[in-house]
Amino acid sequence: MVMSQKITVAAAHVAPVYLDTRATVEKTCAYIQKAADAGVQLIAFPESFVPGFPLWPALSAPIYNHEFFKRFAAASVHVPGPEVLKICSAARDAGVMVSIGISEATKRSVGCLWNSNLLIGADGAILNHHRKLVPTFFEKMIWANGDGAGLTVAETSLGRIGALICGENTNPLARYSMMAQGEQIHISSYPPIWPTHDPSSNERYDLASAIRIRAGAHSFEAKVFNVVASSRLDDTAFDVLSEIGEDALRIVKTSPKGVSMILGPDGVPIVETSKDEDHLLIQEIDLEDCVIPKQFHDVVGYYNRFDIFDLKVHRQSQAPAEFDGADAAPRIMDFERLEACVQEADAAAQ
């Protein structure tokens, strides 16, 4: 375990260029370099940052959303694929570790998508590839269930790093699976808003409050640093979502916004922002600060009863069919393998 190590982390509180994959990837690469210039060693981008978070299922009935789904599927990216390779190249060139949320497509199906998160090393390698276990509420109209293959804490030069996507940070078993692998830095990714009711209602969902509760709970229980990245919306999103109608745009603009923050192992935010402008939230942290709190409550150590409680996590990668004689596509790969896969795909397409 890494001890006595101060590192600089950042949460990218930024807006994607909504449903424009190429422009959003370019913006991602620019922010990776911007983070590197500021001395950042690990930067976390929000949920489904590429190509943006799908909000239309919350705003109109499914029968009116087919064209939006087609656009979103076309804008989603493959792993490996040219967009991911470009982000990995930017991480390698800048020497920065990157966590980023993507909408992931697959060559196995033209309409199956996952809400995924990639952890990319400073050498450009994919260290972990996680698919959200269960899409939440209206997300079920867009994304398929993920699997347990990505429920992994990566052992890195910066410490042990795990990540969960949005509502997974409410799942005690998913969170415990991260804790049980000696997690030191947790990454939580969120959307810009999450409309569940009309914002004029007293029952509206306060996303920032929900994030604070979840993030504080995990930091406190796991005794870890928590880097929380929520996206924001800009005019590119408003222009697209205005196609639904004026009332939909009103809901989008007045729904409670998310918050980005970095919390210590005591569960208390060190810094946070909900700015209505792109912003890099940067903080130096010391992993040694995770040690003393473990004296009080170590829920994966002495403060547990393993003779009473038992958790088994299945981390098999799921596929629609298994083909004898075919090499399984790895979910974790070094930069050279990633680059070779993209080149092979390009050659096959020509």
Q: Are 177 and 33 in contact (CB under 8 A)?
A: no
Which of 29, 34, 104, 166 is catalytic? The answer is 166
pTM of the full structure: 0.94
150-164 pLDDT, tens per residue? 999 999 999 999 999
Tokens of 350: 């020509």
Q: Give residue 3's pLDDT band: very low, low, confident or very high (50, 70, 90).
A: very low
Tokens of 66: 């087919």
In this prediction, residue 329 carries a pLDDT of: 61
223-253 pLDDT, tens per residue? 999 999 999 999 999 999 999 999 999 999 9
In this prediction, residue 259 carries a pLDDT of: 98
Q: How far is CA 63 from CA 21, 130, 139, in A?
A: 25, 30, 15
In this prediction, residue 330 carries a pLDDT of: 67
Q: Report whether pLDDT(325) > 90.
A: no
With b meaning 16 or more CB within 10 Å and e meaning fewer, what string describes 322-339? eeeeeeeeebebbbeebb
Q: Is 47 a catalytic residue?
A: yes
Q: How far is CA 241 from CA 20, 191, 245, in A?
A: 13, 15, 8
Which of 34, 132, 223, 257 is catalytic? The answer is 132
Q: Is 70 a catalytic residue?
A: no
Q: Is 290 a catalytic residue?
A: no
Domain boundaries, the chain: 6-320
24-78 pLDDT, tens per residue? 999 999 999 999 999 999 999 999 999 999 999 999 999 999 999 999 999 999 9
Which of 27, 29, 34, 47 is catalytic? The answer is 47
271-289 pLDDT, tens per residue? 999 999 999 999 999 999 9
CATH code, 6-320: 3.60.110.10
Mean pLDDT over the full length of the chain: 95
